[in-house]
Amino acid sequence: MDARLEAIRNTVLARNPGEDEFHQAVTEVFESLGPVHDRHPEFLEGAVLERLCEPERQIIFRVPWTDDAGRVQINRGFRVEFNSALGPYKGGLRFHPSVYLGIVKFLGFEQIFKNALTGMPIGGGKGGADFDPRGRSDAEIMRFCQSFMTELYRHIGEYTDVPAGDIGVGGREIGYLFGQYKRITNRYESGVLTGKGISWGGSLVRPEATGYGTVIFTEEMLKTRGQSFDGQRVVVSGSGNVAINAIAKAQSLGAVVVACSDSSGYIVDEAGLNVALLRQIKEVERGRLKDYAVRRSAVAYVEGGSIWDVDATVALPCATQNELGGEAAARLVRNGLVAVGEGANMPSTRHAIAVFQDSGLLFGPGKAANAGGVATSALEMQQNATRDSWSFEYTEQRLTEIMVGIHRRCETTADEYGAPGNYVLGANVAGFVKVADAMLAQGLI
């Protein structure tokens, strides 16, 4: 790392002790930015990096609620409003027991650059709670969401901060959150949340957008080497919103997707995963992947273990951070991997990224490859602002154009900085320069 940037990075780490994932995300971005600061001394003079690493605002709050047995439960809620240089803070809410400030800050930090790359007018933010939705009834989820919004509502708004979903937050939760926001404020403010239901202000394609976008981005990478998804053997980790829609899109392009996972285990279906059955089990029944193997013959279910033991030519990690380590990466590379597209945020460890990059395969980092979700959220905001609703075909076409544009921006930036094919550098530099320019133009704030 450039010595000037390393000094700033060390100060950031010391100021934010114990936030390992945030440290990791900052280090990864800083490693790309040395050459940018040679060309732009004004960024150092304006202390852009120091400002970028300090969120504009951080909110931590108590979320009290009662479970179905009438017991009082307390969770911790977060919203980190990281950077508003390009637009209102934008980013998802994550409900998962592992959530703490370090996770919300890594996600919010990544979101700044991702959102810049989309070309849409959105800043970066993220939030969530250490609430575990697993095994909770609909009524418990609703009471939790209502309590969460009873504090959050005063900090958000269509011109201020626009949350959406992430792990553990999908259409059902956005519905309860929106209902409570409307009730407290007495305003039907569609643009305050994205990922809404189609009949009440949501956008077609938003549910599919992250998974579809990841595959579109990866297909663009493959094209640079005269390849495509057609005939690839694909492994997708996770079986949530991003994973299932990535599987569906990869299959539509001719890939055979043989495996996916949840936090309990993974399934291998050599005939190609049945997306309708996956949706029935995960989206309708909210069940476990283990049930898939019970209902379909010739399917292996492996309890525990790592899905990355399954060979693939294309890997799409779509579950969670640091799920793919260096040893798994080395094994996949030895066994014929040609491309990785990150549907999740920071799923590959730094060691794994180094292995992928050293091997010369195509590696699309999350902040570029999974930007289709937030980009389509911005399209939802656009439709809300004009009280319009677009067709599936038109919205999907806009998503495709945005993903192709992000790919091109990463590629040309990597070329410009003498690192052709390095999408990590391309994404970090292109996202950073856009935000840094806007921050300097807006003065010291």
Nearer to ligand NDP, 124 or 240 (CB): 240
Which residue carries 């945005």 as its tokens? 402
Distance from C-alpha of 244 to C-alpha of 237, rounded to nearest angstrom: 10
Residue 47 dihedral angles phi and psi, to the nearest 5°: 50, 45
- Least distance from ligand NDP to the Cβ atom of residue 383, Å: 17
Q: Which residue is nearest to ligand 2IT (CB)?
A: 92
- Least distance from ligand NDP to the Cβ atom of residue 392, Å: 17
Residue 245 is encoded by which pair of tokens?
């829609």
- Interface pattern 83-112 for ligand 2IT (x via CB under 6 A): -------xxx------------------x-
Which of 373, 421, 426, 431 forms a contact with ligand 2IT (CB under 6 A)?
373
Q: What is the contact surface with ligand NDP in residues (CB under 6 A)?
A: 96, 98, 165-168, 170, 210, 238-243, 262-264, 318-320, 343-345, 370, 373
Nearer to ligand 2IT, 194 or 428 (CB): 194
Is 126 labeled as catalytic in the residue annotation? yes
Partner touching 91 among ligand NDP, ligand 2IT, none, CB below 5 to 8 Å by kind: ligand 2IT
Partner touching 240 among ligand NDP, ligand 2IT, none, CB below 5 to 8 Å by kind: ligand NDP
Residue 431 touching ligand 2IT (CB under 6 A): no
Distance from C-alpha of 153 to C-alpha of 113, rounded to nearest angstrom: 25
Residue 189, burial from CB neighbour count under 10 angstroms (0-12, 13-18, 19+)? middle
Nearer to ligand 2IT, 338 or 368 (CB): 368
Q: Residue 332: in which H helix or E strand, if any?
A: helix 326-334
Give the list of residues 6+ apart from residue 382 with CB closer than 8 angstroms, or none: none
Amino acid in position 241 = N
Distance from C-alpha of 217 to C-alpha of 249, rounded to nearest angstrom: 11
Helix (H, G, I), strand (E, B) or coil at 29: helix
Nearest to 196 by CA among 165, 237, 221: 165
Length reported for the chain: 445
Within 237-296, the residues that bind ligand 2IT by CB under 6 A are none
Helix (H, G, I), strand (E, B) or coil at 236: strand
Partner touching 90 among ligand 2IT, ligand NDP, none, CB below 5 to 8 Å by kind: ligand 2IT
Amino acid in position 10 = N
Partner touching 73 among ligand 2IT, ligand NDP, none, CB below 5 to 8 Å by kind: none
Distance from C-alpha of 405 to C-alpha of 82, rounded to nearest angstrom: 25
Distance from C-alpha of 44 to C-alpha of 46, rounded to nearest angstrom: 5
Nearer to ligand NDP, 32 or 345 (CB): 345
Residue 374 touching ligand 2IT (CB under 6 A): yes
- Interface pattern 333-352 for ligand 2IT (x via CB under 6 A): ------------x-------
Nearer to ligand 2IT, 364 or 421 (CB): 364
Query: Could you say which of 126, 196, 367, 434 is catalytic?
Result: 126
Partner touching 262 among ligand 2IT, ligand NDP, none, CB below 5 to 8 Å by kind: ligand NDP
Partner touching 168 among ligand 2IT, ligand NDP, none, CB below 5 to 8 Å by kind: ligand NDP
Contact call for residues 106 and 21 (beta carbons, < 8 A): yes
User: Which DSSP state fits 133?
Assistant: -
Contact call for residues 202 and 417 (beta carbons, < 8 A): no
Contact call for residues 217 and 372 (beta carbons, < 8 A): yes
Which residues have a catalytic role annotated?
126
Q: Which residues bind ligand 2IT (CB under 6 A)?
A: 90-92, 111, 114, 164, 166, 194, 345, 373-374, 377
